[in-house]
Structure 1
Amino acid sequence: MTSAVVETAQRPWGRLTDHIGLGVVSARFGRDLLEEVLNRTERREKRSRRLPAHVMIRYVIAMGLFFAESYDEVMRRLVGNLRALGSWDDDWQVPTKSAITQARQRLGPEPMKALFERAAVPLATSGTKGAWLARRRLMAIDATSFDVADTSDNAERFGRMGSGPKASAYPKLHLAAIAECGSHAIVGAVLGSCRTGERTLAADLTSTVGPGMLVMADAGLYSYDLFNRFAGTGADLAWRIGASVSVGHLSWLPDGSYHALIYTAGLSAASRARLAEQAKAGHDVPAELARRVRVVEYTVPDRNLDGDLIVVITTITDPHEIGALTLAEAYHQRWEEESALDEIKTDLRGRGEVLRSKTPDLVEQQMWGLLLAHYAIRALLLDAADPAGYDPDRMSFIKGLRVTRRQVTDQAAITP
């Protein structure tokens, strides 16, 4: 006990900021991993700096944890505990906002993106409740937007919703993301302008999915091309479609679902009918024109008071693998994606708050920091839920955030 206190109280070697840690966040994104992404993105410093790149990566994640705080206050939270522990170098001062901004500019968004792509992997284990269906990992895609600082550069890069007098007050960054339903962890993300359609952004998420997954998405993301693109990864799909999407009924199945064709856009009614007849006769249809799927239709009266029909198409064509009722119940796990995005927008960022970075590169850097902070907290909650046999859905994200924030301050003097 005594030796531990003496060791903690010793003045640290090297630069003070080399001793900045983020508690559980540092455990998730270790120093070796930071050095790897800095090497890969060629952001390693050529000379010694007061705010080295590996420190700035952690600082940007801390900005996500303490979103409402000023830049210099975030730094004070990271190093403030060092003074109380007698580890503060008398010659060292908290960097100014200008110095922090310059260090963020040197870092750029690339290392933050690379760290997310390298570290944000599915978390659920075989025993994680709510994470699996028929040996398939449940995943969900969704998209949302974030208000960013109203500068000319941000407006040019990200655009505004609407035009003229009806244009949005702030430029908006558009985010398409894929989340693991069981853990609520976001494991893939694409950033872009609000002028870029969510289907276009979502197309770049295919690298994050593959065999052994069941990927779900809402009707707004459906297109024939995008559905086929995700199906081509080897993952199974369960996507809702809207009333405007034509399906060609082929045959009823014992569980009340049915086989059908979906069609590429622009086909005439006569062409669709001809392709359906070919499929009913047992002939193959051209993949560029149509695809055989299974359709599950149902209503959810307690959620949808109007009784609108929910139509989900799936690549799982055998009803004995996953029955219609089971698939319908699983599809509503897709709401976990919306919950994950809401945790970022409401709990981390704060409801109605703006990403205040003034330049597009720093906006993207800040967004990757938010995603990394969210991932670290979700990993912490899963680590707590699994050994206890809890469903991670029962774990409070806000409580996890509070624990993480406390550890940022309490463990600031622990060398990573």
Structure 2
Amino acid sequence: MLVETFQPDLMDRLVDDAERRERRRRLLPAQLMMYFVLSMWLFGTSSYEEVLAKLTGGLPEMFQPAEDVATAAAITRARMRLGAEPLKALWGHVAASAARREQPPGGRVFIYESVAMEVPDTAANRAAYAPDGGEPHEGARRTLDVWLSSLTDSRLRVAPVADIAPDRASGVEGIVAQWPRDAFTAPALVVGDGQPISGALWSKLAEAGADQIWRADARVRAAHPLPAERELPDGSYLSTLHLAGPAGHPARGTAVRVVPYAAAAAATTASHPAAPRAPAPAALLVTSFLDPALPAEEITARFEQAVLASADGVGHFVGRVAGPRAVLRSKSPELVHQEIYAMLCTYHSVGHLVAPVHFGARISRVAARGL
């Protein structure tokens, strides 16, 4: 599956571009390690040696069996030689390829996700992810949180905009700071389900031409009062969302539309149609759709469709392959980034199996044309 999605010539080119090619013949060459880091997400409960054995045993025509001589320490050193940059570049190829695909009517739909994972509490990870966290507890092994914040197109199984950070707020800041040029090449809708509304991210999405719908729960409403300024016939109303600007600058207001929202638990009723439709706590949908010609029920329908599609998003993928709390293996920030970028690529690759109808030409074919 991995080789079919990411062919060896593409892997070699990314390794060479990052200047990570081995200088002498090794049992664990860089190309093998590219596939190895991806395979770590497929065989999450296996040891390093077992992952390598499954990889080389499954592709004997490509790789020399090395599991008898490659120890966990040797595999760790090979991961360090590879670094994070080739995997980040592979993730970039996935995103660029998806952007060139034929877009659905109305454009692409993205859901904003924040996924927490755990990393070993080493000195290096503590400096990066818990600079004020103090010393580790004596006699007990702790883990630290690292957050992946992303905009995910679950139809194509790709997160073209993402950042890795020690907390959710820093992840939003990282997304804005590293915003890729032409992140959206067609009309797009971004949905946030109960996530904090960031002024910087709202503005960046608006600049990119994306429409937005955010579900404002009690926490969000406490931070952003949304008084009714103009009632609309369908029960929605126009308001002003006050968003904090950069440090030292006053909050600024942006015109929004607010749609009262009290929906049944969509995931339950979707998977169990006979289940009782108990209403969820009342919430509000805050949206950039201001035109009264678009009815509130259509805004609600678009939001719910996106939330249902998020069951195929990055967060659910991590939960399926790693359990309720994903615990990464990496003991340094460089390898943490390598492991998370590999996850984003594996998430896309697995999509070829779970939803092949969504995928046309593979990444390797796109790369072969030099795109």
Q: Same fold (TM over 0.5)?
A: yes
| Superposition RMSD in Å | 3.6
Partner of 1:334: helix, strand, or coil?
helix
Q: Match for residue 67 of structure 1? A: 44
Change over 3 Å in CA distance of 1:139–1:353 after alignment to 2: closer
Q: Is the 8 A contact 1:185 1:374 kept in 2?
A: yes
Unaligned stretches of 5+ residues in structure 1 = 1-23, 267-286, 388-416
Q: Is the 8 A contact 1:255 1:324 kept in 2?
A: yes
Unaligned stretches of 5+ residues in structure 2 = 267-276, 361-371
1:156 deviates by 2.0
Change over 3 Å in CA distance of 1:319–1:122 after alignment to 2: farther
Is residue 239 of structure 2 the alignment partner of residue 264 of structure 1?
Answer: no
Q: Match for residue 403 of structure 1? A: none
Q: Match for residue 369 of structure 2? A: none
Q: Return the alpha-carbon distance in structure 1 between the equivalents of residues 342 and 66 of structure 2.
A: 30
Q: Which residue of 228, 244, 247 corresponds with 2:226? A: 247
Change over 3 Å in CA distance of 1:294–1:361 after alignment to 2: same
Q: Is the 8 A contact 1:122 1:180 kept in 2?
A: no
Letter in 2 for 1:158: Y
Aligned length: 336
Q: Match for residue 151 of structure 1? A: 122
Q: Return the alpha-carbon distance in structure 1 between the equivalents of residues 200 and 73 of structure 2.
A: 47
Partner of 1:214: helix, strand, or coil?
strand
Q: Is the 8 A contact 2:152 2:314 kept in 1?
A: no
* Structure number with larger C-alpha Rg: 1
Change over 3 Å in CA distance of 1:168–1:341 after alignment to 2: farther
Matches within 5 A, 1:370-385: 370-384=343-357
1:216 deviates by 0.8
Partner of 1:44: helix, strand, or coil?
coil
Change over 3 Å in CA distance of 1:135–1:293 after alignment to 2: same
TM-score (norm 2): 0.77
Q: Is the 8 A contact 2:156 2:348 kept in 1?
A: no
Letter in 2 for 1:68: T
Q: Return the alpha-carbon distance in structure 2 between the equivalents of residues 187 and 379 of structure 1.
A: 17
Letter in 1 for 2:356: D
TM-score (norm 1): 0.70
Is residue 257 of structure 2 the alignment partner of residue 294 of structure 1?
Answer: yes
Matches within 5 A, 1:40-79: 40-79=17-56
Q: Return the alpha-carbon distance in structure 2 between the equivalents of residues 342 and 89 of structure 1.
A: 35
Matches within 5 A, 1:312-351: 312-320=285-293, 322-332=294-304, 333-334=306-307, 336-337=309-310, 340-351=313-324
Change over 3 Å in CA distance of 1:122–1:161 after alignment to 2: farther
Q: Return the alpha-carbon distance in structure 2 between the equivalents of residues 199 and 88 of structure 1.
A: 40
1:74 deviates by 0.9
Answer 1 or 2: higher relative contact order, Cα 8 Å, separation at least 6: 1
1:289 deviates by 2.7
Change over 3 Å in CA distance of 1:190–1:168 after alignment to 2: farther
Change over 3 Å in CA distance of 1:184–1:257 after alignment to 2: farther
Change over 3 Å in CA distance of 1:68–1:204 after alignment to 2: farther
Q: Which residue of 185, 190, 195 corresponds with 2:163? A: 190
